[in-house]
Structure 1
Amino acid sequence: MGSDPVVREVTGPAELALVDAVHDALDQIWRDVPGVTDEDRMLFALAVSEVATNVVEHAAGDGRPTVSIRLSADDTELVAVMSDDADPALIRLDEVTMPGADAESGRGLALALAALDELRHETDDGNVWILRRKRRPSA
């Protein structure tokens, strides 16, 4: 990353309220980091929302898994790191494709892949998702 990043962290149980808290944290970042283009804001927020929603909806394990999301932004890139203590997800990002027009779900990861410069999923004792979008210059 370039300059010192502005960082916001959200942690909580794998519930949809966590996704709302992530949107609030992104709004704080947009206020604190000047010059992020509308396109970068929209596409990064879309990707973060889609992955966070998937994490919350599909987290499996004993009890209600806990999710931690670290959002950061500086003058060169936007980054989100999401980790949970759920059972490892069996996801192959290289096999993700956009579903047909009549599909009612299944677009989240495909949209995130299209919006980001990097989307990575790692497993160990849970899951870690790394989302990275390089900032585009203002017009």
Structure 2
Amino acid sequence: MTDILARRTLEEPAVEQAIEDLHGVLDQLWHDAAFVPAMDQMAFSTAVIEAASNVVRHGVAAQGSELLLGVELTVASGYLRAVISEIGAAPLDPVPDLEGPDLTALPDDALLEDYDESGRGLSMIRALVTTVTVERQGDSNVWVLSRDAGEGH
């Protein structure tokens, strides 16, 4: 079993204030896990904020529900993990293509001309973490991001 070295959580309405609060939660996490290399901290934080921002900007509440943002951050030996939940959300339609083209390999002008903001955001997340998955769990769309830490991803 992998030892959990630090963990932080957040759950609140999926509004812009949640993103501000998430920055504070990440600061607390890195205070607890200052041994994580700065590059890993920066890449992981950026991916988490981008994914959470997508929930706030694009998440759709299921009929009769309030949309909540749930974030669970874990630092373990050798990896970082974020579970980002759209609680009370309508199912994703369509489900994002997590295996799509690596948009970071395209020239900047092609990114701006051919891909919308959400496509660039997902591409950025995929470039910053080791794995990204999304699945439906009950009334939530759940994104799991993980990054191998300390190995120069």
- Asked whether the two chains share a fold, i.e. TM above 0.5, the reply is yes
Shift of 1:96: 5.5
Gaps of 5+ in 2: none
Could you report, residue by residue, the CA deviation over 1:8-51 in whole angstroms, capped at 9, with x for unpaired residues? 11001111111111111111111111321111011101110111
How many residues align structurally?
138
Most deviating of 48-57 and 63-72: 63-72
Alignment CA distance shift 1:55-1:97 (3 Å):
farther
Q: Which amino acid aligns with 1:95?
A: G
Contact 2:131 2:146 in 1 (8 A): yes
Q: Which amino acid aligns with 1:134?
A: D
- Hey, what's the Cα distance between the residues in 1 that align with 2:147 and 2:56? 22
Gaps of 5+ in 1: none
Kindly indicate whether residue 138 of structure 2 is the aligned counterpart of residue 128 of structure 1.
no
Contact 2:4 2:74 in 1 (8 A): no
Q: Which amino acid aligns with 2:38?
A: D
Kindly indicate whether residue 114 of structure 2 is the aligned counterpart of residue 114 of structure 1.
no
Q: 2:99 corresponds to which residue? A: 94
- Hey, what's the Cα distance between the residues in 2 that align with 1:130 and 1:6? 17
Most deviating of 64-73 and 93-102: 93-102
Contact 1:12 1:68 in 2 (8 A): yes
- Hey, what's the Cα distance between the residues in 1 that align with 2:80 and 2:3? 12
Q: 2:51 corresponds to which residue? A: 51
Cα RMSD over matched residues?
2.1
Most deviating of 42-51 and 28-37: 28-37
Shift of 1:137: 4.7
| Structure-1-length-normalised TM-score | 0.87
Contact 2:132 2:146 in 1 (8 A): yes
| Structure-2-length-normalised TM-score | 0.80
Could you report, residue by residue, the CA deviation over 1:53-100 in whole angstroms, capped at 9, with x for unpaired residues? 001111112353112111111231111101122111122212365283
- Partner secondary structure for residue 112 of structure 2: coil
